[in-house]
Amino acid sequence: MEPRGIPLRAQLTHLGLSTGQTVLVHSSLRSVGWIPGGAAALRDLLLDILDPADGTLVVPTQTGSTSVTSSGFAAATAGRSEAEYRAYLDRLPGFDADHSPSEEMGALAEAVRTHPDAWRSPHPITSFAAVGRLAAELMSAHPLHSLLGKESPLGRLYECDALVLLIGVGYDKCTAFHLGENPEIAPERDYRCKIGDSWRRFRAPAHRDEEFAELGTMFESSRPHRVREAQVGAARCRLFPLTEAVDYAAVTLPYLRFAR
């Protein structure tokens, strides 16, 4: 149901959302402003517009704290003695796809993850969650070595011509750009993470995002008619094809990362 007194439905449909679409959403609920019912109300409104029988709502539900090779883990354990470090490792919850909350992905992502019909991909660091017609198919596999690659849900979103919706956040949050990182600009590195009670080691690309804000500005300038913008609540929002964003990133990221 649409929150009373806030024409969010009209704003979202004016932006270009409609029944049957598959949409990857990055959002800041705070940027939208107060909504009766909060994140769950916005989630339900998005699902009502897309229609779960025909469309699919997707969000990132990442959990970096499960990885001892993450910057978050390094910050959390900085300055600890050897005994304190070992104790921290022992207490660290392992990733559980059914129960581990997402970290720093926003309230809407958590509202989607906890929806009774949600499916979540099994990656302990870079999982996604989805509700709708393609949810099970999109979330069915997510191998350790493909954090944000072609074998991840991002790859399947590319194949099904999904859209990206940014609600109150910038291109620096556009996870889809990672799919454009080739091995030359994202070489593999070692990862170690906790899944349940077990520790796993694997190699996967070293993804980076420091160029994404500039990349997004360039992407938007290069195809202004393909990026739709509108105000949703108090938030500036953008809607654009995921495939075009990824293809542009694949061509442009090497220049931004190395050629200057």
Q: What sign does the CA torsion over 71, 75, 79, 85 have?
A: negative
Residue 1 confidence (pLDDT): 42
Mean pLDDT in each 10-residue stretch from start to end of the chain (260 residues)?
64 96 96 92 97 98 87 83 88 91 93 98 96 97 96 97 97 96 90 91 93 97 93 94 97 85
DSSP codes of every residue in the chain: -PPTT--HHHHHHHHT--TT-EEEEEE-HHHH---TTHHHHHHHHHHHHH-TTT-EEEEE---GGGBTTSHHHHHHHTT--HHHHHHHHHHSPPB-TTTPPPSSS-HHHHHHHTSTT-EE---TTT-EEEEETTHHHHHS---TT-SSSTTSHHHHHHHTT-EEEEES--GGG-GGGGGG--TTTS-EEEEEEEETTEEEEEEEE----TTHHHHHHHHHHH-TTTSEEEEETTEEEEEEEHHHHHHHHHHHHHIIIII-
Residue 260 confidence (pLDDT): 57
Residue 113 confidence (pLDDT): 98
Residue 57 confidence (pLDDT): 98
Indicate the pTM of the whole model.
0.92
